[in-house]
Structure 1
Amino acid sequence: MTPIVSISDLVSNGTGGSSLPEEFRGGAISIGNFDGVHRGHAALLSRVRRMADRVGGPAIAVTFDPHPVKLLRPELAPTRLTSIAVRAERMSQIGMDALVVCETTPDLLNLSAAEFFQSLVCDQLDAKGIVEGPNFFFGKDRGGDVEVLRKMAQQSKREIEIVNPELDGDRMVSSSMIRSCIASGDVAEAALLCGHRHLITGIVSKGAQRGRKIGFPTANLENIDALVPKPGVYAGLAWLPGENDYRYAAAIHIGPNPTFDDDGAVKVEVHLIDYDGGLYDQHLRVEFVDRLRDIQRFDSSDDLKMQLEKDVQSVRDLNLPKGKRR
């Protein structure tokens, strides 16, 4: 996995020195949120990798945690598509040498574009080259854009490359577009835009065990780390990280359980097909392949069981790539 390196206070560190190990300085960088590490991100980061090879330094992605909007307009902050750890995993497939995570603080958000550039690009990273998309903004009140960045880079004798966005037809591939697909339940379209399936991780907790009683035990997920799709029943894959990453086909129920007149709370319940073992208190990863149906209320547990048998068969019919991940 691409190493994750933290800068806890960019402002106090930006005094002409750097808190970063030397191996992560003097290369090519790109600054952004990189939520989802989608096709557009992958294309941009591939250019960073090529520039890094050209300038003879590391390929570095830089992001901020939490998302700046959480501090500026918390009511508008988007639910993230991927955790920082998953972003780093996906960046490793592109060949990135590190993901630098800057702590988002009010002081950082008050840096002017010039102060931001000097502190992060020059002092901390000593970047020899910068790659960004055309919609890049930086500094207080988004005071810097790509033209400002280009001037600063040229004045400080750093390479700069502005990469055109990745298109899907006439639409620009973006995290917000993918987030909209997932929120509407279209996980298959989200996977096409992203270049990989939507993934969530949660901790398995003890539920009401109704599924076990009718022959379909489920893992109840809590503390989920990413956006949960619209309520419904989904086909997917599930696995326990570290257990050779053996993937099981899964039927995933998201939403309330109207058949049992529960409290209406949205739950994420995962039935691992052909799995026989304990899951409580373990981290479970779930990858979404397709949406099978809406949530329904059944007249009896027998009717529910019949539908669950159909759901499991629908998942089996997809012939998902089960087994050890490669």
Structure 2
Amino acid sequence: MKQTNLKDCSFKTPTVLTIGTFDGVHIGHKKIIERLIATANKQALTSIVLTFFPHPRMVLQKDANIKLLNTIDEKCGILDALGLDHLIIKEFTQEFSRLTAEAFVRDILVNKLNIKKIIIGYDHHFGRNRTANINDLRAFGKTYHFEVEEISAQDINEVAVSSTKIRQALITGDIKTANAYLGYNYMLNGTVIKGKSLGSKLGFPTANIQIKETYKLIPKDGVYVVKALVNDNWAYGMMNIGSNPTVETSNKQFIEAHFFNFKETLYNQQLTIEILHRIRDEKKFDSVHALKTQLQQDQKTAEDFLKTHE
């Protein structure tokens, strides 16, 4: 699958397209993507998801606090695995938001992306001030010779409910529910950076994960069972999200993973950490010794979980 900025692409072959944020690419989204790909295969069309970044709320409402389930790279990987041909990313700007509905359809969907069919939600609104709807899109379809297929209210509602439940589950630390709605394990992608080596002194060396995308939703602080693919092998362990209150005085959030029976150096590597299960809340212990005792218990809890779930 190709990930492309809209300004860099032009399609000679006819396409079938859907538009959306598709944040999380969860089980509700997958139904729509699978319909898109099936249509592409049946009608010999190229399948496209057109998405916008930054999120429109970040631009129009200056909502820098909005948190997303996927980074662009994560979303690309998931869509690629589903068999999509192209993920097209349109930079969302104030200027773009003022584009009329017809100009958007004519200049982008028809002239650039060469659509022959669009699969879209019944409640989709677009164009300047989001005044155009699916009926306008059908009218444009007659003018510019493309077909409009409507996604039902039931399917759209399922997508919206799933996204809300996933975000709420992650905020409350309910990884089991989040993963069930996603259809895969929630992941964090980041670079391993050098920390203070406090974990090593406790006998639990950790990989300190730095996530550059500030918009990525981080689950509730606590201790989790995790796995990561390192040099083509699965490494299993536990991860702490939080401020390390027993040994740190700042309120800065840290993401630290300890992998069991693991000796390799991971500094500067990119890691994708999949979150499997939540063990407990983060807490401040009376002493470093008490913390170490708890970490030993956490490891046993994690290993017991892995015996029955992996």
State the partner residue of 2:273.
286
Query: Among residues 4, 8, 11, which one is paired with 1:22 in the alignment?
Result: 11
Pair 1:85–1:76, CA change in 2 (3 A): closer
AA aligned to 1:84 is: I
SS at match of 1:249: strand
**CA displacement 1:113-152 (0-9 Å, x = unmatched):** 1111112211111101111123322112111222322332
Correspondences of 1:131-280 after superposition (within 5 Å)? 131-164=119-152, 172-225=160-213, 226-240=216-230, 243-244=231-232, 246-280=233-267
Unaligned runs of 5+ in 1: 9-18
State the partner residue of 1:296.
283
Pair 1:169–1:294, CA change in 2 (3 A): farther
State the partner residue of 1:12.
none
**CA displacement 1:82-127 (0-9 Å, x = unmatched):** 1112111111222110101112222211111111111221111110
AA aligned to 2:83 is: G
In 2, the alpha carbon distance for the partners of 1:165 and 1:289 equals 32
State the partner residue of 1:16.
none
TM-score (norm 1): 0.87
Contact 1:173 1:193 in 2 (8 A): no
Pair 1:114–1:169, CA change in 2 (3 A): closer
Contact 1:28 1:55 in 2 (8 A): no
State the partner residue of 1:319.
306
SS at match of 2:109: helix
**CA displacement 1:236-282 (0-9 Å, x = unmatched):** 11234xx22x2211211011112124212111111112211101111
Which stretch of structure 1 is more off in the superposition, 261-270 or 75-84? Answer: 75-84
In 1, the alpha carbon distance for the partners of 2:161 and 2:289 equals 44
State the partner residue of 1:7.
6
Residue 164 of structure 1, CA deviation: 2.8
Pair 1:202–1:274, CA change in 2 (3 A): same
In 1, the alpha carbon distance for the partners of 2:223 and 2:241 equals 6
SS at match of 2:246: helix
In 2, the alpha carbon distance for the partners of 1:172 and 1:263 equals 37
Query: Among residues 40, 43, 46, which one is paired with 2:34 in the alignment?
Result: 46
In 1, the alpha carbon distance for the partners of 2:234 and 2:284 equals 30
In 1, the alpha carbon distance for the partners of 2:191 and 2:95 equals 34
Matched, 1:309 2:296: yes
AA aligned to 1:142 is: R
AA aligned to 1:232 is: G
State the partner residue of 1:91.
79
Matched, 1:65 2:53: yes
Unaligned runs of 5+ in 2: none
In 2, the alpha carbon distance for the partners of 1:235 and 1:135 equals 39
Contact 1:167 1:173 in 2 (8 A): no
Matched, 1:102 2:101: no
* Overall identity of the aligned pairs, in %: 30
Which stretch of structure 1 is more off in the superposition, 154-163 or 289-298? Answer: 154-163
In 2, the alpha carbon distance for the partners of 1:262 and 1:248 equals 31
In 1, the alpha carbon distance for the partners of 2:158 and 2:89 equals 32
